[in-house]
C-alpha cells in the first residue's frame, strides 16, 4: 500500500531512503533545513565504500589516543574544551563502549551492512554515473609498530571472512606505481571501493525526482503534532507537513529535531575537513588512508581529495585553519612528491559527521512514536552505509522485515 512519507534531511541517508521508498511506490517528500546548493557532510567526504571499516569508532585504545591528541590543535582528533553536559554524557558513554567485547558484537553487523551497501552501489552504478572504482583501499603505514597493529586488524578481517593482505613497501609500490610513497608497508583491502560524492548526490537527486520525490529546501522543523503515540504532522517553517511515516535523517542536527518528542539520541558533531587538488602532481589509482595521520586520500576523476580530522567543537561548520594545516602537513610525509605549497589556493571544505557514543548508527523504529523511523548517527560511515540504510528504511515503511538484526542500531538503546 502506497503511503505518504516525509524524510527529514537530504544527505546521503535521506536521499537513499527517498530513492528506495519511492521505488516501492510510496509518495515521498524530502525536507531540509539548508538551501538546495548547500554541500553538507555527504558532499565533501572521502567517497569511500569500505567493508574494511568494521571496527566502530568506539574501540579499545581510542580514549588514550584522544587524550594524547586533544592537546594538539593539528592532531587527527580534537575536543574543544567547554562546559557542556551533553558532551560529558557522550564522552562517558564513549569511554564505556571502548571495549573488545563491544567491537566483537559490532564488527559482524558493520561487515554485513557494508557488504550489502557495496552490492547496492554496484547496482546503482549500472544506472547512474558517479565514478565508482572497485580497486580496493590501502592502509598506509610509516612505522613498523603501526603496521603490526594494522596486521592485527587484517587478522580480524580474515576471521570475519574479509580479504586483507599485509604488504611491504615494495609490494605497495608495485600495487600503485602512479604515486611515490614513503611508507614501510600497509594493508590492502581489495573489496573496498571509492566514488565521487558530488556526482553521487547529484545522480541520486535526479533519480529521486524522476521517481516523483518532492523536495522542500530552507525548511526547518520547529515542532510536532502528535496524537497518542502517532505523529500527525511535523511543524515546519513552511507550515505543517502531514505524513503516514516520518524518517529522521537529519545528520548531526537529528537530536535537536526530535527533542520535543522525548527521544534522546546522544550525538556529537564530528567535524571533518577535506581539500581537493584539481591537478595533483601525481594521481594514485587506489584510495588510501595515512594510518598514523588519519588522513584519507581519494582519486576522483582527474582530481585528488585529502580528508581527515575529527573535531568535536559544537554544531557549527566554521573552519579551523589549524585543523586544515594538520592534513596538509601529513601529505608530504607519505607522498614525498607533494608539497604544502600545492594547497596554497585550495579552499578547504568542512562538514559535520553525526557521531553516536558507541560508534554505531541509529537505524530503526522508536518507542517515541509509532510512525517515526530514525536513520542517523553514521559518523564517518554515512556514505559507505547510505544505500543499505535506505533499503532498511524502505522495508520499514513498507511493513516488511529488514534483512538485518537492528538490535545494536536501536534508536532507543540509550533511553
In sequence order, which ranges of 29-143 are alpha helices (DSSP H)?
62-69, 85-97, 100-125
Residues 275-290: what's their mean pLDDT? 97
Query: What is the grid cell recorded at 35?
Result: 538551501
φ, ψ at 96 (rounded to 5°): -65, -25
Q: Could you tell me where in the chain the CATH 3.30.9.10 domains are found?
A: 48-193+267-355
Give the model confidence (pLDDT) of 107-163 as tens digits. 999 999 999 999 999 999 999 999 999 999 999 999 999 999 999 999 999 999 999
Grade residue 316 by pLDDT with cuts at 50, 70 and 90.
confident
The pLDDT value recorded for residue 37 is 80
pLDDT, residue 230, reads 97
C-alpha cell at 372: 517515526
The grid cell for 93 is 558513554
pLDDT of residue 206: 97
Decide if domain 4-42+199-265+359-409 falls under CATH 3.10.450.30. no
Tell how far CA 232 is from the center of its chain: 30
% residues pLDDT > 70 (the chain) = 99
Q: Dihedrals φ, ψ of 70, to 5°? A: -65, -15
Question: What's the mean per-residue pLDDT of the chain?
Answer: 94
∠ Cα 154 158 160 (to 5°): 115
In the 8-state DSSP scheme, what is residue 335?
Answer: S
Q: Is the dihedral angle over the CA atoms 331, 335, 341, 347 positive or is it negative?
A: negative
Task: For residue 395, count other CB atoms closer than 10 A to its CB.
Answer: 17
User: How far is 386 from 47, CA to CA, in rounded Å?
Assistant: 11
What pLDDT was estimated at residue 40? Answer: 79
Residue 71 predicted with pLDDT over 80: no
* Per-residue pLDDT at 171: 98
- Say yes or no to pLDDT of 62 above 80: no
pLDDT of residue 267: 96
The candidate with the shortest Cα–Cα distance to 189, out of 142, 157, 146, is 157
Give the C-alpha separation, 247 to 393, whole Å: 8
Mean pLDDT of 326-350: 97
CB 342 within 8 A of CB 327: no
Domain with CATH 3.50.50.60 in the chain: 4-42+199-265+359-409
Q: How many helices (H) and strands (E) does the chain have?
A: 10, 20
Grid cell in block for residue 317: 561548520
Closest CA to 123 of 391, 394, 400, 403: 391
Task: Kindly report the backbone phi and psi dihedral angles of residue 221, in degrees, each rounded to the nearest multiple of 5, phi listed first.
Answer: -90, 125
Q: What is the average per-residue pLDDT within 207-232?
A: 96
Residue-level pLDDT at 79: 80
Query: pLDDT: is 168 or 60 the higher one?
Result: 168
**What radius of gyration do the chain's Cα atoms show?**
21
Least confident of 183-187, 188-192, 309-313: 309-313
Write out pLDDT tens, residues 354-373.
999 999 999 999 999 999 99
* pLDDT at res. 64: 67
pLDDT for residue 67:
67
Helices 62-69 and 85-97 sit at what angle, rounded to 10 degrees? 140
SS (H, E, C) 226-290: EECCEEEEEEECCEEEECCEEEECCHHHHHHHCHHHCCCCCCEEEEEEEEEECCCCCCCCCEEEE
- What is the reported pLDDT for 39? 80
Count Cβ atoms below 10 Å from residue 345 Cβ, excluding itself. 6
Question: What's residue 60's pLDDT?
Answer: 82
* Mean pLDDT value of segment 374-393: 97
Distance CA 213, CA 206 (A): 9
Please say whether the beta carbons of 141 and 150 come within 8 A: yes
Domain 48-193+267-355 classified CATH 1.10.10.10? no
Query: What's the Cα-to-Cα distance from 45 to each of 127, 188, 356, rounded to whole Å?
Result: 22, 21, 18
386-415 per-position pLDDT tens digit: 999 999 999 999 999 999 999 999 999 998
State the average pLDDT over residues 29-45.
88
Model confidence at 257: pLDDT above 70: yes
Residue 353: which pLDDT band, with cuts at 50, 70 and 90?
Answer: very high
Amino acid at each position: 500500500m502506497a503511503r505518504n512519507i516525509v524524510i527529514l534531511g537530504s544527505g546521503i541517508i535521506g536521499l537513499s531512503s527517498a530513492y528506495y521508498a519511492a521505488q516501492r511506490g510510496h509518495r515521498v517528500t524530502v525536507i531540509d533545513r539548508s538551501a538546495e546548493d548547500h554541500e553538507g557532510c555527504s558532499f565533501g567526504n572521502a567517497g569511500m565504500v569500505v567493508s574494511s571499516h568494521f571496527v566502530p569508532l568506539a574501540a579499545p585504545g581510542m580514549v588514550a589516543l584522544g587524550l594524547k591528541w586533544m592537546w594538539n590543535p593539528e592532531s587527527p582528533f580534537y575536543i574543544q574544551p567547554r562546559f557542556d553536559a551533553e558532551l560529558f554524557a557522550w564522552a562517558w558513554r564513549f569511554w564505556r563502549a571502548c571495549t573488545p567485547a563491544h567491537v566483537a558484537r559490532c564488527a559482524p553487523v558493520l561487515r554485513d551492512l557494508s557488504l550489502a551497501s557495496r552490492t547496492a552501489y554496484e547496482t546503482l552504478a549500472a544506472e547512474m554515473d558517479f565514478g565508482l572504482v572497485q580497486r580496493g583501499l590501502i592502509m598506509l603505514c610509516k612505522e613498523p609498530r603501526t603496521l603490526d597493529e594494522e596486521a592485527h586488524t587484517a587478522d580480524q578481517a580474515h576471521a570475519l571472512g574479509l580479504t586483507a593482505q599485509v604488504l611491504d613497501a615494495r609490494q605497495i609500490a608495485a600495487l600503485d606505481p602512479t604515486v611515490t610513497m614513503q611508507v614501510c608497508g600497509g594493508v590492502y583491502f581489495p573489496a573496498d571501493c571509492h566514488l565521487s560524492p558530488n556526482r553521487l548526490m547529484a545522480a541520486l537527486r535526479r533519480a529521486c525526482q524522476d521517481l516523483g520525490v518532492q523536495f522542500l529546501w530552507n525548511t526547518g522543523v520547529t515542532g510536532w503534532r502528535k496524537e497518542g503515540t502517532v505523529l500527525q504532522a511535523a511543524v515546519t517553517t513552511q507550515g505543517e507537513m502531514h505524513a503516514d511515516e516520518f524518517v529522521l535523517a537529519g545528520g548531526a542536527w537529528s537530536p535537536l529535531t526530535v527533542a520535543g518528542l522525548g527521544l534522546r539520541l546522544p550525538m556529537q558533531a564530528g567535524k571533518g575537513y577535506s581539500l581537493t587538488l584539481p591537478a595533483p602532481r601525481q594521481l594514485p589509482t587506489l584510495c588510501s588512508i595515512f594510518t598514523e595521520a588519519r588522513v584519507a586520500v581519494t582519486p576522483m576523476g582527474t582530481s585528488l581529495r585529502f580528508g581527515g580530522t575529527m573535531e568535536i567543537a559544537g554544531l557549527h561548520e566554521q573552519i579551523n585553519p589549524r585543523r586544515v594545516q594538520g592534513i596538509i602537513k601529513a601529505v608530504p610525509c607519505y607522498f614525498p612528491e607533494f608539497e604544502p605549497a600545492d594547497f596554497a589556493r585550495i579552499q578547504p571544505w568542512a562538514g559535520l559527521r553525526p557521531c553516536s557514543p558507541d560508534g554505531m548508527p541509529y537505524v530503526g523504529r522508536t518507542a517515541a512514536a509509532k510512525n517515526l523511523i530514525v536513520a542517523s548517527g553514521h559518523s564517518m560511515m554515512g556514505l559507505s552505509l547510505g544505500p543499505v540504510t535506505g533499503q532498511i528504511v524502505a522495508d520499514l515503511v513498507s511493513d516488511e522485515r529488514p534483512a538485518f538484526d537492528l538490535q545494536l542500531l536501536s534508536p532507543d538503546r540509550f533511553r
